[in-house]
Structures are given as C-alpha cells and as structure tokens.
Structure 1
Amino acid sequence: MITRRNFIINTSLAGAAVLALPSLAFSMNKKEIGLQLYTLREELPKNVKETLEKVAASGYTTVETYGFSIKDQFWGLSPIEVKKILDENKLKAVSGHYNLGSFLYDGNTAELIAAIEAAKILQSEFLTVPWVDEPFRKSIDDYKKIASRLNQAAKMCNDAGLKLAYHNHDFEFQKHNEVTGYEILLNETDKNLVYFELDLYWVVRSGNDPLKLFKANPGRFKMWHVKDMDKKNAALNTEIGSGSINFKPFFKEARQSGLVHFFVEQENNFAINSFKSVKTSCDFISKELI
C-alpha cells in the first residue's frame, strides 16, 4: 500500500535525482527533435509537401525554416500555405532563419517587418538572424553596429510576441584588438531580448568550447544547431553520432545553456541521401542524447 508519506518521500527522491542529473531532466521535459530545413534545400523547393511528410516520418516534431523573402515567400508558397502543410504533418516551425534584407547594415525595416509577419503566421517562437555579410563584420565598430541593430529588431519582435536570436558561424570568433566579434555581440545586446542559437559545429571548428560559453553566459543559448564534423575532413558534416564531436557533455549542460529547442543540420556529405541521413541523426539523438 502506498501511503501519503511514502508518496511524498518517493516523489522527493525522484526530484532530487532529476536535479542531480541535468541530462535526465532535459530528456524528461523536452522530447522534441528539430530539423533545420536548410539540410533539405535541394529537395524542399521541388516538393514542399512531400519533403515535410518525410521529415515527420523520420521522427522530427519541430523544424526551423529558411529562405523567406518578400518576393518568393517560402519556396513559392505563402506562410499560410506552409503552415497548413506543417499542421497536416504535426510539425511546428518553432524558429526560422530570416536574412532581414539590408536591415543589419542600413536599418531598412521592410524585410524585417515582413519576416515578423511570416513568423507570426507560422506561430514561431523565435525569429533568427542567420548570417552577416563579410564587408559588414570587419571591425569592433561593425560588430557594435550589428549589436545595436539586433537590439532594435529584438524590440520589434518582442512587441509582436516573438523572440530574436542570432546564429553563429566561425567568423564571429575572430579577434579584433583582442576581443572577438561574438564577445561584442554577447556584451552589447540586451540579455532580456536578444538570444543566441549556438551552432555547436562552428564553435568547435573555430577552436572554442561550447561548455565554456555556457558557463560564461548562462541561459543565453536558447537554441542549438546539432551538426557533426566528419572525422577525416573537418570542413565536411556527417550524420550525428558518426563524426568527431561528442555531444553528450553539451546535452548534460542543456539547462545551463538555457536550451529550449535544438535542430539537426547537415549541409553536405550525406552517407546515402539526405533523407536517410536526417533519419539516422534523429534515431541517434533519440537513443543516445535525450
């Protein structure tokens, strides 16, 4: 017979166990596995419906969009049309990569406003800035200007019920007078409005340690790109679990990171084809990491 006292004791012990094992706590609270749809950039524009059906069949429940523009929308489909296909496959576009036109450089908000509207239609949580063109990231002043623009965009997103995030590559970790561009972005942006999507592959490729970033900036990395590195050629990707990156230590510190969503991404070097690769990665994460 389970008495109220035993129930309380057992519940307390279970809670203590969860606190002692951050990875377990994460797996209990977040079972979603996401895919950055750029992985399927060859297939998606040809047949959005069929591609998203295969994404769902591979085990993914969330996606991150890419490629939106005022002119072409999403691969020739409106946000409303894309949302319908996502709903049919029980997929949620919790984030999207939006280039924002020239906003980061000259402050023109036309593309940003359109992106916010698209993200709202998709019922996304995050609007993510994926890239900064090379001519506009050459100095400390350049990065401070980008940070200022991110703060401005974040306020507009917040007013619309969205969160703004910034996705890194490796160039942000280059030093400018002993400070990296990434440090400037972290320090010069509003911690309550601007979040970061940490691409684990690019952090490792740049020679940095995601765990040190988590410790120095707790809670700021709400999203990750989980992308593995080929063992023979670091410039290439591979299926999660087949490469040289050990993701287990990162997932153990998911709580310190602030992780809410993560997305598998593989840009090249598919073992057989892209669909089989994303399924392989999803299966590995489900069995080994969460």
Structure 2
Amino acid sequence: MLAIGSSIPNWIVARDSSIAPKYPPVGLQVYTLGFLLNAPGADTRSILKQIADIGIKEIETATGGNGLYYGQKPKVFAEMAKDTGLKWIGNHIGGLPRTPAASATSTAARPRSRNLRDNIQEIVDDAAEGGCSWVICSSSAISTLDEIKRTAEVFVKAGDLAEQNNMRFAYHNHQSEFDQIEGVTAFDYVLTNTDKKKVFMELDLAWATAAGQDPVALFKKYPGRFPLWHVKDLDKTTGRPCPVGTGKVDFKHIFTNSKLSGVEHTFIEQDGAKNIDDPASSVQWLKNNIYK
C-alpha cells in the first residue's frame, strides 16, 4: 500500500533489481455482471469464481438488486473473493442525493439509499470490515453550482475519514462532470477545491472520451490524481458500452501515458454486458494488445 497522497504507483518501481509489471493487474467492476450477481438466489461464490477464471485479479463492487455486497456482510463477501483468488479493492456508493422531482405521488416517505452525505461513517466502517483500501463515490448531484459545491464539501469529509481509517477516497465520473455550469465544470471544481492527497478521481476512460476529453490531457493537468481507472469502451456507431478494444477509446495512447496519472488499479466495466464472455473478451484484448 502506498502512503496517503503518493502519486507513484508501486507497480512502477522495481524491487530487488527485478522487473516490475508494466501495468496494474486487470480488474473488473462487477456491476458489469450485475445481471448474474443480482439475480434471485444468485450463487455469489460461484460467480466470483467465474470472474477469477477469465483472468481477473481485482474487483470493485456496486449496489445492486440484492443490496450492498450482493446480500453478504462485507467480511463474508471479502472472504468469498479471497477464496477465489480475487482482491476486493473498493465499493461504489452514491454521494450527494439528488432532489426527487415533484410528482403526484410523493417520494418523501420512501427510504433513501445509503449515501456519503448521510452515512459516511457506516460506509467507511463497511469498507474497513471488508479489507478494502478505497471508498469510491459512484455519482453525485451536480446539476447546479450549489450541488457541485456541496458535493465537494462531502468529498472533503469523505477524504478525511477515509485517511483516518488507512483508506483513500475517489470520485467516479460520467459525462456530466465536464458540462459547463455557471462557468465551471464539476470535474475541475472538485479537483481544484479538495486536497490532492485526500480526494482522487476514478477516471472512466469512456465517459471522459464521450465528453470530448483526452484522458492524457487530464493526466497532464492533474498529475497523480487518477489512481483508479474504469477501462470502458464505446461502440463507434451507437456510443454504447462495448467490449474493450472494439470501440473508439484509444487505449494504447492512454496506457502509454499512464505513469503520469498515478494509476494503481484498473477495472474493466461494460454497462449492459450480456454475459461473462463480454468481459472475458476485454481481458483477452488487453493481454494481447496492452499487457503483451
């Protein structure tokens, strides 16, 4: 584990004169296989074994139909992952809740999902119980400048609490973080109004590309702030997520310049994957074209 705030990943540095791996292990955001893990009666352990069998080494989790950690307690889920040869790096959780739209049927009485603003201590405690090294915000309300500012305030608290528990905090982007709102973007506001040693980004390479951003230019603008990546591709025609290497994201350009980003963990993600063959083909493409 790197010291808090370090921008040089441990996989870059050779130890005992040996040659260090060129890139981090291939990981998976298991949201990709939510249709399996969230199915009624899903055999979590068996599905994790299938994930390991396609060459995945590290995983992230996300809330789904079976609840947090796919119906398991954090420690139990962590043991399942470890037993199948997987390392559980972090879990996605929402940030600042969006204000529900007014409607004839009030949503005020409905229980609100756990989120960083309201449940940060519980979320960090769960991550610690599972042995995770990262607390990750999956998305947050950022449609107004006020929401952007309040989101940044929540992230400051999350970064502080994660550090106190020997973990780190990161924010996962979509396209909307790059929209101009009153002359600023949520992406720039968060990165320039939080401590670079406590608040990091999990850069979704596909959504950044879809927003017209060059990930390498972002690395240069904010060096060391991107220790986590979502390795996602987008179909050249439809713009929808597709297996890595079959779409329009320039992964060779991005990986070649990865050192500047401070990347430590990379997670394949494919929204709408139809079966485990989709991430399996992404793993194979990366091994053949990037990790060779």
Counterpart-to-counterpart distance in 2, 1:102 and 1:232: 33
Which one of 49, 52, 56 corresponds to residue 52 of structure 2?
56
Please show how residues 24-43 of structure 1 align to structure 2 within 5 Å: 28-43=21-36
> Structure 2 length as normaliser, TM-score?
0.82
Which one of 189, 195, 198 corresponds to residue 200 of structure 2?
195
Q: CA deviation at 1:149?
A: 1.1
Which one of 173, 192, 207 corresponds to residue 178 of structure 2?
173
Give the match for residue 237 of structure 1.
241
Give the gaps of 5 or more residues in structure 1: 1-17, 20-24
SS of 1:43's equivalent in the other structure is: helix
Counterpart-to-counterpart distance in 1, 2:157 and 2:206: 28
Give the match for residue 183 of structure 1.
188
- Checking the alignment, whether the CA contact within 8 Å between 1:196 and 1:220 is kept in structure 2 is yes
Report which stretch shifted further, 163-172 or 41-50. Answer: 41-50
Q: For residue 93 of structure 1, what is the amino acid of its counterpart?
A: W
Give the match for residue 110 of structure 2.
none
SS of 1:74's equivalent in the other structure is: helix
Deviations 1:219-274 (A, max 9, x none): 0011110100112101x111111111120111011110110101000012x4xx42
- Checking the alignment, whether the CA contact within 8 Å between 2:116 and 2:158 is kept in structure 1 is no
Q: CA deviation at 1:114?
A: 1.8
- CA separation of 1:257 and 1:160: change in aligned 2, threshold 3 A: same
Deviations 1:76-127 (A, max 9, x none): 11112101111111101112112268599xx986522221122112211111
How well do the aligned residues superpose, as a CA RMSD in angstroms?
A: 2.7
Counterpart-to-counterpart distance in 2, 1:26 and 1:253: 19
Q: For residue 74 of structure 1, what is the amino acid of its counterpart?
A: Y
Deviations 1:193-214 (A, max 9, x none): 0010000100011111111111
- Checking the alignment, whether the CA contact within 8 Å between 1:68 and 1:98 is kept in structure 2 is no
Counterpart-to-counterpart distance in 2, 1:83 and 1:120: 11
Give the match for residue 139 of structure 2.
131
Counterpart-to-counterpart distance in 1, 2:210 and 2:96: 28
- Checking the alignment, whether the CA contact within 8 Å between 1:140 and 1:184 is kept in structure 2 is no
- CA separation of 1:150 and 1:227: change in aligned 2, threshold 3 A: same
Relative to its length, the structure with more helix (as a share) is 1
Counterpart-to-counterpart distance in 1, 2:123 and 2:24: 28
SS of 2:36's equivalent in the other structure is: coil
- Checking the alignment, whether the CA contact within 8 Å between 2:116 and 2:123 is kept in structure 1 is no
Please show how residues 110-121 of structure 1 align to structure 2 within 5 Å: 111-121=119-129
Give the gaps of 5 or more residues in structure 2: 1-11, 100-114
Q: CA deviation at 1:142?
A: 2.0
Indicate whether 1:246 and 2:250 are aligned.
yes
Q: For residue 37 of structure 1, what is the amino acid of its counterpart?
A: V
Q: CA deviation at 1:33?
A: 0.4
Give the match for residue 275 of structure 1.
276
- Checking the alignment, whether the CA contact within 8 Å between 2:96 and 2:150 is kept in structure 1 is no
Counterpart-to-counterpart distance in 1, 2:98 and 2:20: 38
- CA separation of 1:217 and 1:227: change in aligned 2, threshold 3 A: same
Counterpart-to-counterpart distance in 2, 1:243 and 1:103: 32
Q: For residue 271 of structure 2, what is the amino acid of its counterpart?
A: E
- Checking the alignment, whether the CA contact within 8 Å between 1:39 and 1:274 is kept in structure 2 is no
Counterpart-to-counterpart distance in 2, 1:73 and 1:101: 18
Give the match for residue 90 of structure 1.
85
Report which stretch shifted further, 91-100 or 217-226. Answer: 91-100
> Structure 1 length as normaliser, TM-score?
0.83
> Aligned residues, how many?
260
- Checking the alignment, whether the CA contact within 8 Å between 2:97 and 2:140 is kept in structure 1 is no
